[in-house]
């Protein structure tokens, strides 16, 4: 259990276009989803925390108008990179935290990660 | 900073040997988690150890926690080539919202 999927797994787009990445918890409800970005040979950097039905909380230095996050249901969060530029090329990873009180193993502090989306902006 | 600091940054061993990675953190925690990341992939949760636990096992993994030293270690016994990956610790601090802040990790290379 505790499977998180991401779609697409990779995307190549032209500079100036917008790209939407989906993150789904397949077998559990996630009150909170997280979006990370990882540049080559670096660690994951938390971009934002997304709670179902409310606005996302962005980390310092992350532009909320550029990285639009929507968490419309307990199993789906989307990240839209608007007007993408080559410097936005990165590996984007989402994670989901299980809703407290739901069945399943593991602490509600455990985050379950998606496989990541490789974004390349030309 | 709030992330755990892994040590060493890189570790290269032969298949069959044990691998030990360490993690240090700053303040009181609720729990500490270890994750693995294969190159170009997402993270896989390995094990969570609570602040009132001292040791935890899962298969070939053994995690210890010393809250007095604010440190944890991850031991992988009888390593395999498939264990080659980066390993991250992630402490969850008391009073936090449970956000995980990742350090640079330990890059483990297991040679066949």
- In this structure, the dihedral spanned by the alpha carbons of residues A3, A105, B23 and B10, taken in order and rounded to 10 degrees, is -40
Say if residues A113 and A95 touch (Cβ distance below 8 Å): yes
pLDDT tens-digit series, residues B26-81: 888 989 999 999 988 899 999 999 999 999 999 999 999 999 999 999 999 999 99
Tell how strand B10-14 and strand B106-111 pair up: parallel
Residue with tokens 């980390």: A59
3-state secondary structure A16-81: CCCEEEEEEECCCCEEEEEEEEECCCCCEEEEEEEECCCCCEECCCCCCCCEEEEEEECCEEEEEE
Best residue of A111, A112, A114, A115 to probe chain B, by most B CBs closer than 10 Å:
A111
Q: How far apart are CA B67 and CA A30, in angstroms?
A: 30
Strand order in the sheet with B106-111: B10-14, B106-111, B85-93, B29-37, B43-50
pLDDT tens-digit series, residues A11-21: 999 999 999 99
Q: Does A98 touch chain B (CB under 8 A)?
A: no
Residues of chain A neighbouring B104 (CB-CB closer than 8 A): 42-43
Q: How far apart are CA A119 and CA A20, in angstroms?
A: 10
For residue B33, cis peptide bond before it (omega within 30 degrees of 0): no
Q: Does A6 touch chain B (CB under 8 A)?
A: yes
pLDDT tens-digit series, residues A70-112: 988 889 999 999 999 999 999 999 999 887 655 555 567 788 9
Share of chain A above pLDDT 90, in %: 70
Note the pLDDT of residue A94. Answer: 96
């Amino acid at each position: 259990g505790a499977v998180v999927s991401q779609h697409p797994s990779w995307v190549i787009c032209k500079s100036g276009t917008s790209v939407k990445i989906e993150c789904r918890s397949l077998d559990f409800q996630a009150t909170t989803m997280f979006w990370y970005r990882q540049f080559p040979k670096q660690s994951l950097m938390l971009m934002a925390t997304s709670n179902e039905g409310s606005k996302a909380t962005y980390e310092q230095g992350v532009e909320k108008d550029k990285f639009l996050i929507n968490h419309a249901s307990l199993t789906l969060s989307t990240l839209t990179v608007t007007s993408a530029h080559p410097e936005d090329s990165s590996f984007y990873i989402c994670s989901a935290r299980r809703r407290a009180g739901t069945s399943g193993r593991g602490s509600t502090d455990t985050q379950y990660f998606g496989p990541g989306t490789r974004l390349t902006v030309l | 900073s709030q992330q755990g600091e892994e040590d060493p940054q890189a570790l290269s061993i032969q298949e069959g040997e044990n691998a030990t990675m360490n993690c240090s953190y700053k303040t009181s925690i609720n729990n500490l988690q270890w994750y693995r990341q294969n190159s170009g992939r997402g993270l896989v949760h390995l094990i969570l150890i609570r602040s009132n636990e001292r040791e935890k096992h899962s298969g070939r993994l053994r995690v210890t926690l010393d809250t007095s030293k604010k440190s944890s270690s991850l031991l992988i016994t009888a390593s395999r080539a498939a264990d080659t990956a980066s390993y991250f610790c992630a402490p969850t601090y008391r009073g936090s919202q449970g956000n995980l802040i990742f350090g640079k990790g330990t890059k483990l290379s297991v040679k066949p």
